[in-house]
Amino acid sequence: MKTSFISKSGNNLDMVIICNDKSTLQKTPLDDLESKQVKSDWSKKIKFSIITRGSKKLLVYKLDVAKSMDQGSEMARRVACVCNKELNRYKISKAEIFFDIDNSSEKLAFVEGLMLSNYQFLKYFSEAADKKNSLVEIVLYSNQLTKNEITELEHIVSGVFTARTLVNEPLSYLTALQLSKDIEVLSKKVGFRFQYFDKKKITALKMGGLLSVNKGSIDPPTFNILEYKPAKAKNKQPIVLVGKGVVYDTGGLSLKPTPNSMDLMKSDMAGAAAVVGTFEAIVKNQLPIHVIGLIPATDNRPGENAYVPGDVIKMHNGMTVEMLNSDAEGRMILADALSYAQQYKPSLVIDLATLTGAAVAAIGKEGIVAMGTAKDNQMNQLKTAGSKVHERIAEMPYYDEYDSYIKSDIADMKNIGGPTAGCITAGKFLERYTKYDWIHLDIAGTAFLTSEDTYKGKNGTGVGVRLLYDFLKNYK
């Protein structure tokens, strides 16, 4: 979506006018009759008015009173989604946005919501042009938002769209190798360092978790390393982002059922997608922070010489795992990546993964399950970012007693716990491979939606990109 700026209204465009309870409408481009109609709607508690001015449409929306700045911004994003649908319903290609509100955060959040709501994944439709949204440009007032604010926002949204598209791609296109190739193309386009290891190199590194999961597949695994290190980075030690890259998860020999389970599992690399999208956003906006991304990638199938429940696997850090459920594969590949991250002497490591159904059972799609060994100020900064962008963090209890849940009779640990506390025991498994400040984010409930949820849309949401960008931008 293109964005342009004007100094005053030309009264020749379709228009969206955003108001609040303090609006008198006197400063808006509405004439007396139009203002009277809107105020009449407000008196009837109708907050959304559609006015026809010749061949043009004027959409007027009154925002609710927010209890906090974060809530006000989220309301603005959700209203923007409603407006986006109306603009596209009326086949409007270019719309002027006028704010009769003073809160700059709500103004920017509205534009963000409008942009995010315009995402489409049409690659595989034979008549994609007929389905394409009409809205291609919004016009803003130069005295209401700055070009720098909008440019930064456009880059963040582009990162979200990249993540969404990666998640939405089927395995028939997005194998582990293709994921590496797509990241390589992006790295050259936006400007970050990238390399990936092939199966021979992964074998030499003794990444037993990644290799074991890949044993059931005819497609080779990859291990991807992304790095952005600006000349004047504010951190002496890098922050490492680790993303689970299971490009498709059948469950392996612990086979998943198909309906509402395996049929959604092209999304099991949403953690990887979030890391890629975050890199796009931070590099385009040239954040002064040194960040490394690690993405172990493979599909999880029951074919070939697939590993079986009961096998013992030696991991990258030399520890052994009794594998009792091949559908708990994400932690196996993440463990190798977390172990590999140690060589960078990171100040903080954050992993993102669609890891457990237990996370979905615990909090649904309303937030991200979190836990780890990071310092309180690091976790609190992430929570602040989560509240700001409405990718909220739900920190789980992380008692030492949970360690006993993954005790094995024949190896250093087993890859599943018991019937309870599943998302926590998964975190406890991963902790065994960390020797640094670390946060684990289970995005299983938020990464892929089977029904539309406002500006997040349907299917891949790109969750994690906006969260990590805001966190990294403000990290202290």
Positions marked catalytic:
256, 331
Helix 465-473 vs helix 270-284: angle between axes, to the nearest 10 degrees? Answer: 40
Picking from 329, 351, 373, the residue whose alpha carbon sits closest to that of residue 441 is 351
- DSSP sequence for 15-40: EEEEE-TT--STTSS--HHHHHHHHH
Contact predicate 65/106, CB 8 Å: no
Q: Say if residue 369 is exposed, middle or buried (CB neighbours under 10 Å; 0-12, 13-18, 19+).
A: buried
Picking from 101, 411, 158, the residue whose alpha carbon sits closest to that of residue 278 is 158
Q: Rounded to an integer, what distance in angstroms lies between the CA atom of residue 118 and that of residue 467?
A: 20
The tally of CA atoms less than 13 A away on the side-chain side of residue 163 is 36
Q: Say if residue 263 is exposed, middle or buried (CB neighbours under 10 Å; 0-12, 13-18, 19+).
A: exposed
- Which residues on adjacent β-strands are paired with residue 58? 15, 51
Where do the H-state alpha helices sit in 44-103?
A: 69-89
Contact predicate 220/214, CB 8 Å: yes
Residue with tokens 């697939």: 306
Q: How far does the chain reach from its first CA to its final CA, in angstroms?
A: 33
Residue with tokens 């700055």: 146
Q: Rounded to an integer, what distance in angstroms lies between the CA atom of residue 152 and that of residue 128?
A: 29
Q: Rounded to an integer, what distance in angstroms lies between the CA atom of residue 369 and that of residue 361?
A: 11
- Which residues on adjacent β-strands are paired with residue 17? 60, 98
Picking from 341, 372, 343, the residue whose alpha carbon sits closest to that of residue 437 is 372
Q: How many helices (H) and strands (E) does the chain have?
A: 14, 20
Angle at CA of residue 165, ends 162 and 171, nearest 5°: 130
Q: In 123-150, which positions are buried (b, 16+ CB within 10 angstroms) versus exposed (e)?
A: eeeeeeeeeebebeebbbbeebbeeeeb
Contact predicate 341/237, CB 8 Å: no
Picking from 361, 385, 359, the residue whose alpha carbon sits closest to that of residue 371 is 359
Pair of tokens at residue 43:
């008196």
